[in-house]
Amino acid sequence: MLNWKNMRIAFVGSGKVATALAHIFQQHGISVSGISSRNESTGKALATALGTEFYPNPKDLVADVIFLATNDAAIRALRDTFQSGQFLVYTAGAVPLEDFSSECWGVFYPLQTFTLNRSLQSADIPILLETKSDRLHELLKQLCEKAEFNFSWCDSKSRIKYHLAAVFVNNFVNHFIYKGQTHLENNQLDTKLIFPLIKETIAKLDAFSAFDAQTGPARRNDQETIEAHRVLLNEEDRQLYDVLTHSILKTYTKHD
């Protein structure tokens, strides 16, 4: 029976997700047999870093499980690329597994943000799995256990809800930090002074719920300060400020 000791995996894609996952698997003794990517430059670079082969055509990959670490459209475009019986798993959070009729398809969704030149350990990356076959179910379970991922089984309807939550807590929060930095830069002020605040905002969530940790003028319904802020903003940023302020006011009006 095939297990991780003789299992070969391969990747389609050479971006942040593929790079992080491929290195983690290899570090845990799992063979990465090849990389394929539309971006030949990054694909060859990743293959070289892993000591494996680069294949311009993904059909030439030879592996027990092929990971599709690409965008949603590319995953669907690859639907008919591979031979029947080839196990394929994709890393997207918002693509339902029911879109693929073959039982050889599955999901390996890392609930994490990835950045080039930042190294994450497997313990830092929760994995949500979904499969249609018992065989692939067992293979992914073995891979996760060997690579020491924290994993759980999750259907597509729940996975997209996790994905939406991730957009709120990561993508939107990062954009708000960008807005804060830009505001300070435009006023010739020191952006580094807000770094301790950013760190404490996240750190205190170990001890408090986000609901209980909320502070600020909207939380205390300080209309004078809110208006003082609004006059400093352009129309676009004022609309964003107003939407968030209204949401906080509404949230706590119901509980105070």
pLDDT in tens, 55-80: 999 999 999 999 999 999 999 999 88
| Beta bridge partners of residue 89, listed in sequence order | 67, 106
Domains and CATH numbers, the chain: 8-154 (3.40.50.720), 160-253 (1.10.1040.20)
Whole-number pLDDT of residue 193: 98
Give the separation between CA 40 and CA 178, rounded to whole angstroms: 31
Q: What is the mean pLDDT of residues 86-98?
A: 96
| Beta bridge partners of residue 110, listed in sequence order | 127
Give the separation between CA 92 and CA 96, rounded to whole angstroms: 9
pLDDT beyond 80 at 7: yes
Nearest CA to 31 out of 56, 51, 60 is that of: 51
Please report, for the chain, how many H helices and E strands are present, in that order: 10, 7
* Structure token digits, residue 227: 């208006």
* Structure token digits, residue 160: 């997209």
Q: What is the mean pLDDT of residues 20-49?
A: 96
pLDDT beyond 80 at 202: yes
pLDDT beyond 70 at 4: no
pLDDT in tens, 138-195: 999 999 999 999 999 999 999 999 999 999 999 999 999 999 999 999 999 999 999 9
CA 134 to chain centre: 26
* Structure token digits, residue 249: 């006011």
**What is the percent of the chain with per-residue pLDDT over 70, rounded to a whole number?**
98
Give the model's confidence band at 117: pLDDT under 50 very low, under 70 low, under 90 confident, else very high: confident
Characterize the bridge pairing of strands 105-110 and 127-131.
antiparallel
Average of per-residue pLDDT values in the chain: 95
How would you write 39-89 as a 3-class SS string?
A: CHHHHHHHHHHHCCCECCCHHHCCCCEEEECCCHHHHHHCCCCCCCCCEEE
* Structure token digits, residue 108: 């390996």
**Angle at CA of residue 117, ends 202 and 90, nearest 5°:** 85
pLDDT beyond 80 at 1: no
